[in-house]
Chain A
């Protein structure tokens, strides 16, 4: 990232805010990984280790009324949108205080009040949903936008292409990203697509696209800001390819031996926290002492969250029967359900 660009376009407070969320995301996911290894978290355990800058960067570029439809490597976005480490740990532990009250696990959480559309395992399914949210904003003449994305593997699915096309055809206020971490579970990108840059897919839909260093939070933030500005101005969608590397297995059960060691070693030097620290030092915004403090604060917040989650009750078995059908319309979002005149 060009230092002059950063200096003129990102406020000090915003950079420090993003740095703190990089540390909080890392601390939280380190804790989640440890809990998984201790057998205290069961089921799938997906993290964003080494990719934290993407979610932290784009979520920091959004306004409060905007909406995200994230995927499973976006922990930082959940945190920035206001889901607390305690709620997230409660979710991982299957507690009633998690956003899904134990109905679903790990990053499969959403909350319309905080502008988060819940993620489903079927990758890219959330992209058409995101275009529909953007369609609602456009139809009502609101200036809100939607930020959504999937992984490199997810771009193989039809829903990715259907959403890209619809967004472009109707010039919807949506930004669609690809977290290109080079592996979809064990499948390397060369078996996923015959192109080297995912961004090339955008051309087919008449959508502008950009390749961004996904490990540089300032670069992610600025590229997101540009795309968001266009979307908000009615100029339609943008596709962002965030290049990064998945540093853990697909889920924590997976040792990912199929990834060459040298590749991981190389990307370890490009850790998003290190890159952010280097930038903060260059700008004179932070030093080792400060970084240590922020890290310790993040760990404390996570430990407090874990205490909350552990004290929280598990749901009772028969609660499994609740909530299959809604008794009222969606709440929370601006202009959401008004009382129906003739129900």
Chain B
């Protein structure tokens, strides 16, 4: 994965934006507390909660036993009793240990008997960091299919901060997919005032007229890079960053395709049965008359995420894949 980075002082990284959101929400609302492995004295595997223990104490920065199902279940119970837990998965991959609590308890609770579960699960996801099959996954597809959960996946420091604040203030279980590759690679200057990015709203990261690239997470930056390269060839990409995966901003998806008549759906998750498949189906159902070419999907192949550098590079979608697909579509 390659990426344009900016290194301006005074700006905050994607990681710092997450940390700021947690800190500000904890100051704003005493019901907010954090749970997870090694988040206290150690400050979390990625140091997002560094210094939090001294500021908030060991109950609001709660180091848990190594038991994801147990602490996600506990977060559900605390949420029902009026607290606002934010749970940290050390890596999104480990979320599978808590699958049952998330899909059977948290997701169905309000539907079944009307008890809201306002909690956030932070899930550091994605590849490009030599993590191998157990530290690189994109597990959002599993939860995309589970009614009752909201899923967000920010691509910029601004969205990272605003979406995390919105997630903490939402009365539903929200899984917050933060991309590890972006942690220290992108920076931005953020407003000093309190702000949120509403859940359920996609964002056009680059307006264009020829082809829509519908994507989220780290792939947004690949799409922007491809768009830059293609300007030389006179192909004008529009990049739609979904930001929220559930509930999907269908209006924005249809609007961009009505505008450009061509769509590339791009994600880092495995191709089959992924979120791209759903978006493609929606476009076929709702935008058939507007389409001037086939819907194209770019995604990782249907394998686990491999470790060795050439294997992982092969596995991950690349800027060149987008350029090639765009050239093909431009010919229609």
Interface residues of A (CB under 8 A from B): 67, 69, 99-100, 103-104, 108-112, 117-118, 120-122, 125-139, 146, 158-159, 162-163, 165-166, 169, 323-331, 333, 335-337, 340-343
Q: Which among A139, A162, A165, A323 has the greatest number of chain B C-beta atoms within 10 A?
A: A162
Contact, CB under 8 Å: B28 / A336:
no
The reply to whether the CB of B72 lies closer than 8 angstroms to some CB of chain A is yes
The reply to whether the CB of B171 lies closer than 8 angstroms to some CB of chain A is yes
Given contacts A110-B113, A118-B112, A133-B81, contact A139 B148 (CB under 8 A): no
Contact, CB under 8 Å: B81 / A120:
no
Contact, CB under 8 Å: B80 / A330:
yes
In the assembly, what is the distance between CA of A130 and CA of B76, in Å?
A: 9
Extra contacts, 15 of them, besides A139-B33, A162-B73 (Cβ < 8 A), are A110-B113, A120-B108, A122-B105, A128-B73, A133-B81, A139-B59, A139-B78, A162-B71, A166-B71, A166-B74, A326-B116, A326-B172, A331-B116, A333-B80, A336-B82
Q: Which among A67, A138, A340 has the greatest number of chain B C-beta atoms within 10 A?
A: A340
Give 6 nearest A-B pairs by CB, closest first: A128-B73, A132-B77, A162-B70, A132-B74, A326-B116, A136-B81
Task: Kindly specify which of B9-17, B61-69, B219-227 makes contact with the partner chain.
Answer: B61-69
Contact, CB under 8 Å: B113 / A103:
yes
**Residues of B contacting A163 in the complex (Cβ-Cβ under 8 angstroms):** 70, 73-74
Q: How far is the CB of A339 from chain B (nearest CB, A)?
A: 11
- CB 8 Å contact bits of B163-205 with A (1 = contact, 0 = none): 0000001011000000000000000000000101000000000
Contact, CB under 8 Å: B111 / A323:
yes
The reply to whether the CB of B109 lies closer than 8 angstroms to some CB of chain A is yes
Number of residues on chain B facing chain A (CB within 8 A): 49
Q: How far is the CB of B184 from chain A (nearest CB, A)?
A: 29
Q: How far is the CB of B200 from chain A (nearest CB, A)?
A: 10
**19 A-B pairs, CB-CB below 8 angstroms?**
A100-B112, A111-B113, A118-B109, A128-B69, A128-B71, A128-B73, A133-B77, A136-B82, A139-B78, A158-B67, A159-B69, A159-B100, A162-B69, A166-B71, A169-B65, A330-B81, A330-B117, A337-B171, A341-B28
In the assembly, what is the distance between CA of A52 and CA of B20, in Å?
A: 52
In the complex, the chain B residue whose C-beta lies closest to that of A172 is: B74
In the complex, the chain B residue whose C-beta lies closest to that of A128 is: B73
**Residues of A contacting B147 in the complex (Cβ-Cβ under 8 angstroms):** 324
Interface residues of B (CB under 8 A from A): 28-29, 33, 59-60, 62, 64-65, 67, 69-83, 85, 100-101, 104-105, 108-118, 147-148, 150, 169, 171-172, 194, 196, 247
**Residues of B contacting A118 in the complex (Cβ-Cβ under 8 angstroms):** 109, 112-113, 115
In the assembly, what is the distance between CA of A87 and CA of B150, in Å?
A: 31
Q: Name the contact of A166 in the complex, choosing from B65, B79, B82 (C-beta under 8 A).
A: B65
Given contacts A132-B73, A136-B77, A163-B73, contact A104 B67 (CB under 8 A): no
Contact, CB under 8 Å: A342 / B109:
no
In the assembly, what is the distance between CA of A109 and CA of B111, in Å?
A: 11
Q: How far is the CB of A166 from chain B (nearest CB, A)?
A: 5
Q: Name the contact of A103 in the complex, choosing from B59, B70, B105, B111 (C-beta under 8 A).
A: B111
Q: How far is the CB of A133 from chain B (nearest CB, A)?
A: 4
Contact, CB under 8 Å: A120 / B104:
yes
**Residues of B contacting A337 in the complex (Cβ-Cβ under 8 angstroms):** 82, 116, 118, 171
Contact, CB under 8 Å: B29 / A340:
yes
In the assembly, what is the distance between CA of A122 and CA of B74, in Å?
A: 16
Q: How far is the CB of B72 from chain A (nearest CB, A)?
A: 7
